[in-house]
Structure 1
Amino acid sequence: MRAVTYHGTGDFRVDTHPDPGIQHARDAVLRVTTTAICGSDLHMYDGFIPEMHKGDIIGHEFMGVVEDVGSEVGNLKRGDRVIIPFTINCGHCHWCKRKEFSLCDESNREPEKLAFMNGQASAGLFGYSHLYGGYDGGQAEYVRVPFADATHLKVPDGMTDEQVLFLTDIFPTGWQAAVNAEVGPGDTVAIWGAGPVGLFVLKSCLLLGAERVFVIDDVPERLALAQEHGAVVIDRSKVKPYDALMEATKGMLPEKVIDAVGLEAHGSGVVDTVYDRVKTATFQETDRPHALREAIMCCQKGGIVSIPGVYAAIIDKFPIGAAFGKALTFRMGQTHVMQHAPTLLDHIREGRIDPTFLITHRGKLNDAPDLYETFRDKKDDCIKVVLTP
């Protein structure tokens, strides 16, 4: 089969790999019909995620048709059409019973690496380094799905791939970020980042009843799309977000702030960003947390900071004093996809949201290397890339 393959920083290629097969009784083999490039994939493309090995297959947003199932998978059969959450969950451990699926104790088959870094290991992820189990990803023609009886959601008849594909990651990620921020009717929310996750955070906040949602970015086409879908936009290249939010809220600041940027935050001309770039280039820091620092400073006293943006390990100059002084609450983490996906599927099916609004680029699997560069560099007004093997 053909698959998008890691060969080093900035070097993803489409290579030939052996077709996957059933290895365990709870496995399934999926023929991938649609997959996507995610902003989290760029963290590997740009070299920020450790434990990537040459030959690893990339991709964690994918869906398809079941080709084969193991002997213990009683709820799937050949021909079933399913989406696959990026978080692999066993379905029966302590964390899965609590529906905290991204914390699964059983699915990370190389747990000692992440436990060494974090104190405990979390769930295995598709196509996302050997910190998370070293599983082959879904930017491929076929993929093996472990714990397939628990790690899937069936697609209702009559729904297209593009309608449901983003239930694999970015829609539940945006929704969880809003839920973690306890967004509700009448709230004022500020979101850093108008990329795919940030846009789904926006849509989720509005579905949950937020009164005003500010979106901060500096990419014109992303700001335009956010404004089109209900945001009050702040172009950080023209105004300081803190000043704009202070003025718009009459000095109160938003009570809920959401960092949908993560570890590769930009901030050209800003002193702390220059500092972060030097520190990461010299391996003294792993992440660039400019957006997170700014979100903390822009959060109202007693407010909530929600972090769906990925952070890898260590950040510097964290404003813990501001967070403590303002009595802020922090919530973050990988998404418990299967906790939220059924609810969001209903939102799509009942017409409250059409997730296809952010797709700007489509291609075949062989187009992936060029489209990774287009997506990373925001060329051709690129917001979201969908691939068909």
Structure 2
Amino acid sequence: MSTKRSASDANGHHHEDGHRPGEGDDRTMKAVFWEGKPFEMSVKRVPRARVVNDTDAVVRVTTSAICGSDLHTYHGVFGSSRVPYPMGHEAIGIVVQVGPGVETVKVGDRVVIPDLPDEGHLDIEPSLLSQFSIYGFGKDFGNLGGCQAEFVRVPFADKSLFVIDDDKIPDNEIIFLTDIFPTAWSALDISGFQPGDDVTIFGAGPVGLLCAYSAILRGASRVFSVDHVPARLAKAKSIGAIPINLADGKPADQILKIVPDGTTRVCDCIGYECVNEKLKPDEGFVINQAVQIASAGGGIGVIGVYFTEPNSKGTPRGNTLSPNVSFPITLFWEKNLTMRAGGVDPKPLIPILLELVKTGRAKPSFIISAEYQGLDDAPEGYRRFDKKFETKIVFKFPWRREDLAVASTGEESHKPEAILYDGPLGHDEESFEDFARQRVSKRRRRNAYERHPLL
């Protein structure tokens, strides 16, 4: 059961620094910012995202989330060297503006924003992570802005955005298509997973839980979920995984007692900020345990982050992590193992996973433990997520009176920011998601009438 939190005045209105709904500037927006202070986040009112290039779109966010990768920034070890910059790379919403070069995405479309937008050119050769353009990690990673914000500018919108044409699916089932569901799915792919394989998954945070969930969906014979947080292990057990508590001893010792030959596949969904069985930081622990657990001829998939950076204003604790770890190469070689690692582009997988969600076969929202209304309490959300008091936090965005400047005219006017709002005015507490889904339903009914006007 998720909890709901909000920062409100006595009348229940969300505001910041005296700002009250109806009194704000529709040219500004709220966004979460990293300013280079470990274990601190801030919320700022900044200029609203806008179309810069002809192929851009602007999306009004209905739901966004905190990702485990955001915690690496929160800890001061990952991200741009230059601060401040806006945070977040998981969001969905409704298109409110498009550039003149956008052809397929329309104002009013409800869309998924992948964390890695299209780069506008064909990559013949694989690129390094340092060359990626990704939301929420600052100037050194594409300078795209962040998705923990009320509005997001999306470059190359036609190829970057995925339109959701089903108004019945709530945001909570779709939000994870932006990053962590495809990432979790890919962890299995790069491990060499096949139906019938047994799997060990390190981490029962959001990505680890979705990896275990994906393995079960895809026909794993048995799934071990390794973590040390009781609530997360309980959630893993609830979906059919076998919980292995790291605090009870080395996972290899525990798992090899159950399956002496090990598991065919192992997935690392934690990365370099992992801990050992004594719950002490130990960067090489998961990799070494994975080699011990993998059975002969098996495979290891690593989608946990291993990307060290030197100290800088943006990564003030970068040097606390090493770019090198010890590795049991003899055992790895003797077992004839394979290992693949790296970041994940969600775009190729979004259509596949969206169909699983549409049919109800996949319901990834089970990982959510808290919903925050607006962004005012984002710093507290980061603290709770970092302390593992929450499994996954999402932000819900209330309808603002400022948005009426966007929604006051119907799309028949052909204005670039025109969308039709049929609801009552002044309901600031109403979720913007409700409007987005209403908008999809209206368009669906209109399209049906145009095809069959006598129905």
Q: Which TM-score bucket, shorter chain as reference?
A: 0.7 to 0.9
State the match for 1:221 in structure 2.
Answer: 231
The answer as to whether partners of 1:362 and 1:386 remain within 8 angstroms in 2 is: yes
Per-residue CA deviations over 1:11-37 (Å, capped at 9, x if unaligned) read 210011111211111111111111000
Displacement, 1:315?
A: 2.6
Displacement, 1:168?
A: 0.3
State the match for 1:235 in structure 2.
Answer: 245
State the match for 2:98 in structure 1.
Answer: 69
State the match for 2:118 in structure 1.
Answer: 89
Distance 1:142 1:69 in 2: 13
Give identity over the alignment, percent. Answer: 38
Displacement, 1:121?
A: 4.8
State the match for 1:183 in structure 2.
Answer: 193
| One-letter amino acid of the counterpart of residue 241, structure 1 | P
Displacement, 1:94?
A: 2.9
The answer as to whether partners of 2:246 and 2:277 remain within 8 angstroms in 1 is: no
Per-residue CA deviations over 1:147-194 (Å, capped at 9, x if unaligned) read 211111111222111110110011111111112223222211100000
Displacement, 1:375?
A: 0.3
| Structure 1 residues 198-347: aligned runs within 5 Å | 198-249=208-259, 251-267=260-276, 269=278, 273=280, 276=282, 288-313=283-308, 314-347=323-356
Please say if 1:5 is aligned against 2:33.
yes
Q: State the secondary structure of the residue aligned to 2:226.
A: strand
Displacement, 1:130?
A: 3.2
The answer as to whether partners of 1:184 and 1:205 remain within 8 angstroms in 2 is: no
Q: Superposition RMSD on alpha carbons, in Å? A: 1.8
> Unaligned regions of 5+ residues in structure 1, if any?
106-117, 277-287
Displacement, 1:144?
A: 0.7
| One-letter amino acid of the counterpart of residue 391, structure 2 | I
> Unaligned regions of 5+ residues in structure 2, if any?
1-28, 309-322, 398-455
Instruction: Return the structure number with greater relative CO, CA threshold 8 A, min gap 6.
Output: 2
Distance 1:76 1:372 in 2: 33
| One-letter amino acid of the counterpart of residue 52, structure 2 | Q
Larger Rg: 2
The answer as to whether partners of 1:187 and 1:210 remain within 8 angstroms in 2 is: yes
State the match for 1:16 in structure 2.
Answer: 45
Q: State the secondary structure of the residue aligned to 2:354.
A: helix
| One-letter amino acid of the counterpart of residue 169, structure 1 | D
Structure 1 residue corresponding to 2:393, chosen from 375, 385, 388 = 385
The answer as to whether partners of 1:375 and 1:383 remain within 8 angstroms in 2 is: yes
Instruction: Give the structure-2-normalised TM-score.
Output: 0.74
| One-letter amino acid of the counterpart of residue 143, structure 1 | V
Query: CA 1:51 to 1:123, structure 2 compared with 1: closer, same or farther past 3 Å?
Result: closer
Distance 2:331 2:77 in 1: 27
> Structure 1: which 4+ aligned runs deviate by more than 4 Å?
none
Query: CA 1:264 to 1:33, structure 2 compared with 1: closer, same or farther past 3 Å?
Result: same
Displacement, 1:247?
A: 1.5
Instruction: Give the structure-1-normalised TM-score.
Output: 0.86
